[in-house]
Chain A
Amino acid sequence: EVQLVQSGAEVKEPGESLRISCRCSGFDFTSYWIAWVRQKPGKGLEFMGIIYPGDTETIYSPTFRGQVTISVDKSARTALLDWNSLQVSDTATYYCARRLYSTGWHWFDPWGQGTLVTVSS
């Protein structure tokens, strides 16, 4: 069974650093792009970026470039999302998702269960 299992909820203060994770199983981790998606409370989905574990090529949405770092731990089959200095505005649920591809078509399936990050002083 293909599964993406995310790390648990986090409560942080502004300025702190954070790493959340997405552990992948049931498929060849190095052969599929893994995306990160943000959802602020009561709002829509926002694409943050995507990484190809095979060669670690990473594409960031302009909104998130320089704000977060996407990486992988191949040995652990895990995608990672890092912040150096959290802001209150980073409070959101973060999802990872596997991207599949056919010529002209891309889709995300499955999705992780989400990690709620709360940043508050």
Chain B
Amino acid sequence: SSELTQDPAVSVALGQTVRLTCQGDILRRFLASWYQQKPGQAPRLVMYAENNRPSGIAERFSGSHSGDIATLTVTGTQAEDEADYYCNSRDNNGIHMFGGGTKLTVL
């Protein structure tokens, strides 16, 4: 299918590691990118091309990919990482799609 599935909500203790996943058939062809969105703000790119961080994104963010699953890992999660996270990819027709988003809560 041309859908991307994410867990709606994930929680993590401060300083611990959390893995956010994104699953979809289209990921077998086109890799995912990841976006962080905090309340009242525009989305911000945090990961692209499997494991590339844009300038300004903390090193604790990393990405990986296997088959139809993309994973965004936050190692040593900080309070400021609490946000909604969306994955994105595209199909063979050039139509992009976002996952439903994961609300990350830092305890």
- A residues near B, CB below 8 A? 35, 37, 44-47, 50, 59, 61-62, 95, 97, 100, 102, 104-114
Is B97 on the interface with A (CB-CB < 8 A)?
A: yes
Residue contact A95 to B96, C-beta cutoff 8 Å = no
Residue contact A107 to B33, C-beta cutoff 8 Å = yes
Residue contact B98 to A105, C-beta cutoff 8 Å = no
Min distance, Cβ B18 to any Cβ of chain A, angstroms: 19
Main secondary structure of the interface of A (DSSP, over half): strand
- B residues near A, CB below 8 A? 29-31, 33, 35, 37, 42-45, 48-50, 54, 84, 86, 88-90, 93-101
Residue contact B42 to A95, C-beta cutoff 8 Å = yes
Chain A residue nearest in CB terms to B93: A59
Residue contact B101 to A44, C-beta cutoff 8 Å = yes
Residue contact B95 to A107, C-beta cutoff 8 Å = no
Asked, given contacts A44-B101, A106-B96, A107-B48, whether A95 binds B43 with beta carbons under 8 Å apart, the answer is yes
Residue contact B29 to A61, C-beta cutoff 8 Å = no
Chain B residue nearest in CB terms to A61: B95
Chain B residue nearest in CB terms to A6: B42
Residue contact A44 to B98, C-beta cutoff 8 Å = yes
Min distance, Cβ A113 to any Cβ of chain B, angstroms: 6
